[in-house]
Amino acid sequence: MQVYLPIAEMTVNAVLVLAMGGLVGFLSGLFGVGGGFLMTPLLIFIGVPPAVAVGTQANQLVAASVSGVLAHWRRQNVDVKMGVVMMIGGNVGTALGVWLFGILQDLGQIDVVISLFYVVILGSVGGLMLVESARALWRVRRAGPSRRKLHQHIWIHGLPFKMRFPRSKLYVSALAPLGIGVVGGVLVAIMGIGGGFLLVPAMIYLLGMPTALVAGTSLFQIIFTTATATLLQAATNHTVDVLLALLLLVGGVIGAQFGTRVSSRLRGEWVRLLLALVVVAVAGKLAVDMILTPDDLYSITTREPS
């Protein structure tokens, strides 16, 4: 069934878009990420302009994240205090990212920047996660489950303005989760992602949060950050396609419930390994598309008079 997207100015298969939303929602519940790191490239692959893909995807992330958080909340796997601190930083980063997005859009460079961001950031983070998770699985197989400390002290734990997070059993500087939230907010605005693929490793390896709490807390923060990004993108850059967002939303809500159920049955090491493999695969696909010669070397677009 073909439907016309007014903002993207193209027709798409509604069933295909629903299935894409369901897949990303499943990953959202499984890994605790917004899923935008996969949805935005998928939309680009089917021909949606990158700027519209980014703006619209942020809208879909809100629904998928809410669905995932509700499931994690019932299992008491959400650190609300940590999520609120990250949310404050996330909203600041989102405002900054939308402002940069508008500048790049006016310069006509936003499509290239989006693709480059995905290849570099996804490739780097995914590669590091893949190496670490493979080592963790190897250690478990050789010596059984590790009995390490709740968290290991690194330079971040020496920062001022310390705050207690009883649910995660942490006593760390508020600047750490605040800074992580700012980075996630910028990624939401420029890349159309919840930033979960970066927030989840940062919460585990930098803050030292228990793996069981990371997914729900990450999604809790993503809800508010992506909602802010959607409003700002629609009001300032006009890149939100409501019909496309609705199709993605329906699929995402359903998929997130199934992903959360599967997540509770997997060990933390396997969840991190699977997430790393997905991230690296998406980065590789985008890198190949940037290198290959496109089918249409030239395109004609209309430009509004200044």
Give DSSP secondary structure letters for 52-89: HHHHHHHHHHHHHHHHHHHHHHHTT---HHHHHHHHHH
What is the rounded CA–CA span in Å between residue 264 and residue 273? 15
What is the rounded CA–CA span in Å between residue 183 and residue 3? 35
Per residue in 146-203, pLDDT (tens digit) is 444 445 556 666 677 888 888 888 888 888 888 888 888 887 777 766 566 677 777 8
Tell me if 243 is assigned to some domain.
yes
3-state helix, strand, coil in the chain (%, to 5): 70, 5, 25
Tell me if 297 is assigned to some domain.
no
Q: What is the pLDDT of residue 64?
A: 63
Number of domains in the chain: 1
Instruction: Pull the structure tokens for residue 210.
Output: 């228990």
Q: Position 11: which residue type?
A: T
Q: What is the pLDDT of residue 148?
A: 46
What is the rounded CA–CA span in Å between residue 85 and residue 82? 5
Tell me if 285 is assigned to some domain.
yes
The 3 state secondary structure assigned to 247-301 is HHHHHHHHHHHHHHHHHCCCCHHHHHHHHHHHHHHHHHHHHHHHHCCCCCCCCCC
What is the rounded CA–CA span in Å between residue 75 and residue 200? 18
Question: Which residue matches tokens 């968290």?
Answer: 151
Q: What is the pLDDT of residue 172?
A: 81
Tell me if 304 is assigned to some domain.
no
Q: Which domain holds residue 94?
A: 2-291
Sequence-ordered list of residues with C-beta below 8 angstroms from that of 203, at least 6 positions apart, any chain: 82, 177, 180, 209, 214, 217, 218
Q: What is the pLDDT of residue 268?
A: 60
Tell me if 108 is assigned to some domain.
yes
Helices and strands per DSSP (H, E), number in the chain: 11, 4
Per the document, the length of the chain is 306
Straight-line distance from the first to the last Cα atom of the chain, in angstroms, rounded to the nearest whole number? 38
Give DSSP secondary structure letters for 3-22: EEETTTTEEEEHHHHHHHHH
Tell me if 303 is assigned to some domain.
no
Q: Which residues of the chain have pLDDT under 50?
A: 146-150
Tell me if 299 is assigned to some domain.
no
172's enclosing H/E stretch is strand 170-173
Tell me if 298 is assigned to some domain.
no
